[in-house]
Structure 1
Amino acid sequence: MFSNIRQAIKLSRERANDSNGLPFFQQIKEMVLLQVLTGFGPGNYHKYRLWQKDMPWQQKLGYWHDQKYYRFLNKVNPLSYRMLARNKVVAKALLSFYSIPDAEYLGYLSAAGGFKADGSTLVSAADLTELLLQRSDLHKICFKPVEGSGGEGFCAVEIERTNGIFFRELGKSATLPVADFLSQSLTVHQGCDYIIEKYLQQHPALAAFNPSSLNTLRVWVGKTATGAPKIIAIYLRVGRAGSLVDNRLSGGFGVAIDPESFKTTIAVPQDSSGQCFNQHPDSGYDMSQRQLPFKAEVVALAEKVTNILPNTRFVGLDIAFTPEQPVIIEFNLAPTAIGACVMNTSHQQLLGWLNNPS
């Protein structure tokens, strides 16, 4: 606790020098008041960038600490459904049943009894090799652990077909036989199961932000009292150079999007506490005022997915763009609360209406 307070004080001194930062003692006063009034601690004060002088006090009162956010989730999305949605087999089956566009499913790799999309066995390197020999059109594929979220365990490979089938992990130089890849890069032998998909070709408009990662839109959607879906907020997630994923745990960051123009505005740093920026920290690419495609299609897709989810009133959707259309990467019934920081809007402003839908 005391280390968190010391860190908050240190950050307050730094932020006081920011052009949009409140004076040091004003920040300390606000941290004390928020702790007393709402239980919102000093660490969260900086995590959500409440030191900004142009942020109204009433807005600051509307930010929720993690315990309050999870009480909200328990109210709008029953825990049993939230846990079920984490299973990628269940999620994949639901999307497929309703013909919702997502990455092409190739198989379920499991030492305990996996199978290909056609129902044949997929438990070993030999089975996977056979699948790839049958699908000469595949150049890149990806492996997603069945359980989990946040990109943990995700792996993508380029297929080399000279003198057999070999894999080269994206971002690496080494080439491995399929059997060596399964034993060294995946944990199938340790009981971890994987969904195998065709690797998506990313739309140039999103690849421009960072070509190595699949950069996705995070879309928050809620359901009104009548059950109609309502778009709450949209922002872009961008990865770092060399990373395959765009999430914060891998160093990624969020870029705000104007909901009307569908143009990017400004990026929020991965640790949230520093200054916003316009240029990608690795490439220098100017990320501001970039027109994104598929606005109407994104809204329609988000509404369609929200409509098919049972006993769910709030969802976070990860949507990628291929050159042809937006596709669902994942739906999350417990999206991280930090999204409010990217949107520079409090949880109460974004989600409060779901607590009182009538």
Structure 2
Amino acid sequence: MKTAPLIMGNIKAELPVIQGGMGVGISLGGLAAAVAKEGGVGIISAAQIGFREADFDRNTLEANLRAMKKEYVKARRIAPEGVIGFNIMVAMRHYDAYVRAAIEAGADLIISGAGLPTELPRIAGDAEIKLAPIVSTDKSAQVILKYWDRKYARVPDLLVIEGPQAGGHLGFTKEQLEMYDSEAYDAEILKILDTVKKYEHKYGRKIPVAVAGGIETAAQAAHAFSLGADAVQVASRFVTTEECDADIRYKEAYLKAEREDVVIVKSPVGMPGRAIKNAFMERVMSGEQIPHSPCHGCLHKCRPDEIPYCITDALVHAAKGEVEDALLFCGANAYKADRIETVKEVIDSLLPEKV
């Protein structure tokens, strides 16, 4: 099956592959540019993106906004004609500032989850940037589509459906994660697509949909397209690439992981997430309180004096390759990685009939 380009209004990616945003520091300008240069959609994660800036500990917001610009400029220099955007979590403090920084940088789109981005159209205003909310259930899709329709008289330029096999923070309760096998979640995807069709009919325009979560083979990608998806969003497969911005030791943690090492963990702010079990996670799971740095103001719901560990500290350790002191977020199939590839090899393996 030959795939079609991903078209979002006046923006077109030749290949319907979106590289998922991975923070802290896993998908920066290098990885996003490599994916965009191959014809896919490259995504830079804005989450604590300024962790390498000299003033990150003192002026976290300013460091992050400065780094957003730097990483976007880097990516655009490498892939001048490619489609490049940002992943910005609703749960982040100063969400408005990050959205505006993405717009000012000149990004093509914003993908936004970790909460429903109800106010994203208000913040973006009349900017030409494309807006793509992430949903995980038909209920959340109905909420965001109805809200944007009623309050802003608009629909998303892209909708990302992120399933229970995804990595990092998940948009499901622990009970939902146990309930959704692949067949049950296929039914949920079809419900979401039916909801989308109602708004396509109302607005007389196509709303492209990307399916994400655990996609790591051509067969899985083809299955998503057979359900009616216009694109697939893939993250973990891109971690073990030469172009990924993470330290080689982070990539090697994926290569060394076994199936039983991929577990559901509870983040400091109460959200379930998927990660690789390591010495750090065993300490956390045993109930140990991990000392942390002064608060970097990353997430709205975080209470520094109550958390068992700091998620910024843990994810920065991961990006720097300090893997035994790190939270190693990953997708459900991350353990299947067995070698370092190039971005081109990954895309070719996902879309073998793209040419």
* TM > 0.5 fold call: no
The structure with the largest alpha-carbon Rg is: 1
Higher helix share: 2
Higher strand share: 1
TM-score, normalisation: structure 1: 0.24
